[in-house]
Structure 1
Amino acid sequence: MPDAIFAHPRLAPIYDAFDAGRDDLPAYLAIADELGTGRVLDVGCGTGSLAILLAGTGRVVVGVDPAEASLEVARSKDQAGSVTWIHGDAATVPALDADLVTMTGNVAQVFLTDDDWAQALCGIHAALHPNGYLVFETRRPERRAWEEWAADTDPVVLDIPDWGPVEQRREVTDISLPLVSFRYSYRFLADGAVVTSDSTLRFRNRDELESSLIARDYRVLDVREAPDRPEREFVFIARRAT
């Protein structure tokens, strides 16, 4: 089940407001250009920010996400109907003959077990055409991002059109490495309603990720820095081997 932050009818529409300034997305556009890709599948597309940007460059784009509430937001932003939106996940996405699959944000870290991750890689493999690319980012565990999250407890309040002022708070609720759990709490000041969302991410190291890709018939071509978060994340560029 997707986290409430993506699936709750009150939280999905305000997600973009609190996630503004997606400095990570231009790098993905540049990689798509570098690889010469024209048909893209965005796994865990959420509210569609990257998928719509990619479609704006003339590419054929499919966005898949398990949270219907987020897809509703994405469809409302895609007035031209330039993206095909699919309610589903990486393990069950149809064969699309895509030449690029992307996973941005924390998507690659929501697969908590080895089996879940393997199923996602197999589903993506089937969606790619031979020699198609998989590009994703993941946080480097040695940077211990959860320590910064635990220290940053100040609330954030935004005045959001149609919703009024909303207060967001984050707390780390459990650290059982390689798993880290945290909770976002949202207070809608107009009516006092409080909605919480609990999430867990898995932090895999570089060797673990490379081994898992090779085991599922990918070749790792490059591991880069995330331009917006230098030395904090890996950006993997892999290719379907057969």
Structure 2
Amino acid sequence: MWHGEYRHPRLVEVYDAECPWGWDDDFFMAVLAEHSAPRVLDLGCGTGRLAIAMAAAGHAVTAVDPAGPALDAARRKPGAALVQWIEGSIGELGTREFDAAFLTGHVAQFFVTDQEWSSLLHAVRRALDEGGRLVFDSRDPEAAAWEQWNPDESWRSIVLGDGGVVEAWTEVASVSGGVVSLAHHYRFSDGEKLTSQETLRFRTAEELRASLHAAGFRVEQIYGGWGREPVGLSDDGELIVIAAAFS
């Protein structure tokens, strides 16, 4: 199945167990606090960890995701009532409704073709008020993260909230022109095996800058790591972008 970590109830539980609060969340909360942003969009919010934290900090948060099972998990979490949850896409939102928009967890890489990515950026630009900021993360292709996505290096054991253990590993199917297709395998203690597939687009910093400018954004900063290191000078292998909407 495609993106099973958000669409299959058992894999949603695995995702939440494997992805607790981390340095990336601290970074995004810090960036949010740097400018006044009463109205916040969390696009591709998944199971809602960051959206709930932003709402708890006093922001009016709208969290959007096309995956119903992920949103079901988000709505069950403490503090979820403070967030407006929308199952769907950004196309269902109006214009100039937000002061900041976040795409976290490398959601930006799910938009594989140039047309998909351009359409998304233009839609976010319409949803942001003048000067509103777009913040997102994308893996740096120079770090070649896919080279570690093999059964030997990616194998891990994940402990669920009920104490159950899931074995997981990743395999890459293809790498071509910045597009990487892969499969995540999960083996549960009761014997069930599930596979989640995805295709990711790795864009360079230059490609991101050009696409953002074409959509009406001014790039303020691109970091290479969660400690705000320059691109290429962090083991995190990230491209963390902060851009502002302009006329």
TM category, shorter: over 0.9
Structure 2: how far apart are the matches of 1:150 and 1:211? 32
Question: What's the offset of the Cα at 1:22?
Answer: 2.2
Helix, strand or coil at the partner of 1:122: helix
160-169 vs 119-128, which moves further: 160-169
TM-score by length of 2: 0.90
- 2:151–2:169 contact (8 Å) kept in structure 1: no
Match of 1:178 in 2: 178
Q: Deviations over 1:136-184 (max 9, x none)?
A: 1111111111112237445322332347222112111211131011111
Runs of 4+ in 1 over 6 A off after TM superposition: none
Letter in 1 for 2:104: T
- 2:5–2:15 contact (8 Å) kept in structure 1: yes
Helix, strand or coil at the partner of 2:50: helix
144-153 vs 211-220, which moves further: 144-153
Match of 1:166 in 2: 166
Q: Deviations over 1:44-100 (max 9, x none)?
A: 100001101111111111111111110001100144501111111234444461100
Question: What's the offset of the Cα at 1:117?
Answer: 0.4
Letter in 2 for 1:89: S
Match of 1:121 in 2: 121
Letter in 2 for 1:170: T
Structure 1: how far apart are the matches of 2:11 and 2:49? 16
- 1:183–1:196 contact (8 Å) kept in structure 2: yes
- 2:17–2:159 contact (8 Å) kept in structure 1: no
Structure 2: how far apart are the matches of 1:21 and 1:217? 32
Helix, strand or coil at the partner of 2:158: strand
Letter in 1 for 2:84: T
Structure 1: how far apart are the matches of 2:201 and 2:147? 15
Structure 1: how far apart are the matches of 2:44 and 2:181? 19
Letter in 2 for 1:233: E
Matched-pair identity in %: 39
Structure 2: how far apart are the matches of 1:155 and 1:148? 10
Helix, strand or coil at the partner of 2:81: coil
Match of 1:210 in 2: 209
Letter in 1 for 2:223: R
Helix, strand or coil at the partner of 2:72: helix
Question: What's the offset of the Cα at 1:121?
Answer: 0.6
Match of 2:224 in 1: 225
148-157 vs 168-177, which moves further: 148-157
Uncovered stretches (5+) of structure 2, i.e. residues with no partner: none
Structure 2: how far apart are the matches of 1:152 and 1:140? 22
Question: What's the offset of the Cα at 1:9?
Answer: 2.0
Cα pair distance change 1:97/1:177, threshold 3 Å: same
Question: What's the offset of the Cα at 1:189?
Answer: 1.1
Helix, strand or coil at the partner of 1:227: coil
Aligned pair count reads: 241
Aligned 1:62-141 pairs, distance under 5 A: 62-79=62-79, 81-95=81-95, 97-141=97-141
CA RMSD of aligned residues (A): 2.0
TM-score by length of 1: 0.92
Helix, strand or coil at the partner of 1:222: strand
